[in-house]
Structure 1
């Protein structure tokens, strides 16, 4: 039977299938799930599957075994919309009964115009509406003696790490972004609910918590940093509370406000991983103003220097946009010079593209595609050279790593504290791995470095 469609590996964090040990019982309703897009969408998929499993549904890993299929879509870029429509079409062709949710679900006419036979369309984080649509298409048939909610829910990530969503939406109005239109304004989860979820994950064997939101720095601002049941909804307090659970805690999507300095001592103390994922997007002040970035006035190089003074081992990752409307060659050269000085550890880069509904579409002086491609190439060459140099400096050092996979040849794929899953590099151990298991935390001596990855061996 054909497997369900999957995003390419470079676009998806959820490479592993839902892990359900139980076999389907006679008469048990079965649902399939295709999850596209970012880690935040992945968390939505996990929540939907957890609820369905608790209600007595089985989860099918293929189209033919499912009585209906949920497609959790991405709608951030036009290319992502096209991929989502393609996935919906494939699900319709292979199964015929399809429920659509996720970011692209905020534009139901766009979906039904291309695929009028879908059973239902719901928007992002509309969990109850998704469940209603499933109930209508495939009525539940729970067995109260069997269908109890698993302790850790249904997971689409390997069981040793998990994404932990702390808020939805965003209050910023960056001109190139339509996420606030799709997901709404910032809505923070109560801190005690986040901690309770994290405790359950750690109790179930999770070794790494990946904290995600659209603006992690702003967590709790919408609820006035309320304190309930002994936990305050502020990123400083949340990071400290999560760090006390004994798992790795990795912070994603942190805006470079000056108050981020408060988090760095927690990294120096070892409570939080010395890692920040910060969406700088550009460096030139004029470009940032045209983007309407909230950090346009932040002296980012000064902040980076301050972070490194407090925690010298901190690893910084970021993403950038080249070819933004109005970007001059001088502005791009400024970005390259900034990158030289910032010496970021992990860097991604995108060529600007119009997104339906984004205010940046109407800006003057759009950059020709050939120029965008040239700038992307030059940017990535510089970023690669920086990465290669920084990794070479780790040869001979000892690194604590988390084992993500061990293949049939005994080669272990691991990550250091500087590597987030699926977006950063890896550390490979190609001998002496007998006795290692996925999810182990071990110390490795680095003996070789490449442009993005490391190789090492177990000491002794």
Structure 2
């Protein structure tokens, strides 16, 4: 039997970078209490899984991991499920994972210490529930997640959009933007740590400040950041909403080298009828004009988007419109997902009429097209010199792995660098080869 290790915790973070920030924030609170993180679940008093509840597949993954931990759990250990699933799928957790000791909703991540206190005192025959419709950040802890030389910095939580396929507003609640001074404080701390890249995240970064009465709040925030952290060379934006990339934001990205010429604008589709059913901006001609304007103003801008195929009502003609749009726009990066029917989402009454085989075939078709586009765009960088942030090295093969301004962590491509460079630093690399999604070059 494994020896009991009092005051230790093992935390598993599932889902997106926004969830990762919540996990890191909980860890900081636990560490401040004096608890010690452990990479070994068998030797940890508290087993914490920060779940994702966005899609059915993510919930299945969370339940699988929780069940695995339950099967090995010792009487002195406590298993806690936190995050998105407890907000909207609490009963599914209770039914699927007998042996849970505590449940904490994502809107109250900051109450992790209170939950642990209650779990320690609570009747272990049933889990202690701590979920609330109130969302706030009353504790003072950094809202960041550091990965090597980069860090995600959360600027807002929740969402006021009403996309019909999405559960996020039901899970996270309405938009709550963090005050600029709190974000600046976190950014300065990252600068003091030597971080080279700050990645601003929210459900919709371009909606930042709307609830605070700001106009063009993201641009105002960036202007404040540029003054506050002049020694952080890269600031990257994720998750911009179509039509909300303002002229002021475009001009700032054009004129300020710190703000990377990179935008992730999830469009989700290109057929007007499908977009209306999704409750997304459906004037695709206006979207095309906006993309052309961004590209004309910001030299070398890297554009990423995501598309959903198989949404109810997507017939062959609608899918062909999507294909034509992708072929015309030639995005640097494209993510394609099969529609996931989610009970409780506004689109639930539409059902799920398109077969999984058809969805899979459409995903394959779209990604085949994008692979050709990606290779051609990558080839255009041959013989150019790019700054690359180094994320790993292979001493045996004498190579380093990193990303250019064109690549966000985990979702985009890599730059394979011949030669060893310091992890976390930004180095100049001359590109000499291109493959479908990655570039290859040498240190300059």
1:441 aligns with 2:426: yes
Q: Once the 2 structures are TM-superposed, how far is the Cα of residue 62 of structure 1 from its aligned partner?
A: 1.1
Q: Once the 2 structures are TM-superposed, how far is the Cα of residue 326 of structure 1 from its aligned partner?
A: 0.6
How does the TM-score come out when normalised to structure 1?
Answer: 0.86
Q: Which residue of 2 aligns with 1:23?
A: none
Q: Distance in 2 between matches of 1:456 and 1:307?
A: 28
Aligned runs of 1:19-98 on 2, under 5 Å? 29-96=7-74, 97-98=78-79
1:387 aligns with 2:378: no
Contact 1:319–1:348, Cα closer than 8 Å, also in 2: yes
Structure 1 residue corresponding to 2:354, chosen from 362, 367, 379:
367
Q: Distance in 2 between matches of 1:28 and 1:177?
A: 40
1:240 aligns with 2:245: no
Q: Once the 2 structures are TM-superposed, how far is the Cα of residue 271 of structure 1 from its aligned partner?
A: 3.0
Q: Distance in 2 between matches of 1:138 and 1:206?
A: 37
Q: Once the 2 structures are TM-superposed, how far is the Cα of residue 258 of structure 1 from its aligned partner?
A: 4.8
Q: Which residue of 1 aligns with 2:411?
A: 423
Segments of structure 2 that go 5 or more residues without pairing to the other structure are 122-139
Q: How many residues align?
A: 415
Q: Once the 2 structures are TM-superposed, how far is the Cα of residue 155 of structure 1 from its aligned partner?
A: 7.6
Q: Distance in 1 between matches of 2:7 and 2:278?
A: 48
1:99 aligns with 2:88: no
Q: Once the 2 structures are TM-superposed, how far is the Cα of residue 377 of structure 1 from its aligned partner?
A: 1.1
Q: Which residue of 2 aligns with 1:287?
A: 274
SS in structure 1 of the partner of residue 343 of structure 2: coil
Q: Once the 2 structures are TM-superposed, how far is the Cα of residue 154 of structure 1 from its aligned partner?
A: 10
Q: Distance in 1 between matches of 2:143 and 2:283?
A: 42
Q: CA RMSD in A?
A: 2.2
Query: For the structure 1 residues 79 and 364, does the alpha-carbon distance in structure 2 shift closer, same or farther, using more than 3 Å as the test?
Result: closer
Greater displacement, 108-117 / 70-79: 108-117
Query: For the structure 1 residues 152 and 180, does the alpha-carbon distance in structure 2 shift closer, same or farther, using more than 3 Å as the test?
Result: closer
Instruction: State the Cα deviation string for residues 129-151 of structure 1 (Å, max 9, x = none).
Output: 32212233459xxxxxxxxxxx9
Q: Distance in 2 between matches of 1:202 and 1:371?
A: 48
1:183 aligns with 2:183: no
Q: Which residue of 1 aligns with 2:383?
A: 396
Q: Distance in 1 between matches of 2:336 and 2:197?
A: 26
Instruction: State the Cα deviation string for residues 275-326 of structure 1 (Å, max 9, x = none).
Output: 0011110011111001011x22361110011001110210011110011101
Contact 1:242–1:249, Cα closer than 8 Å, also in 2: no
Instruction: State the Cα deviation string for residues 346-396 of structure 1 (Å, max 9, x = none).
Output: 001001120121122321672122221221111001111110000001000
Q: Distance in 2 between matches of 1:174 and 1:457?
A: 44
Query: For the structure 1 residues 27 and 65, does the alpha-carbon distance in structure 2 shift closer, same or farther, using more than 3 Å as the test?
Result: closer
Q: Once the 2 structures are TM-superposed, how far is the Cα of residue 262 of structure 1 from its aligned partner?
A: 2.2
Contact 2:143–2:154, Cα closer than 8 Å, also in 1: no
Q: Distance in 1 between matches of 2:44 and 2:246?
A: 46
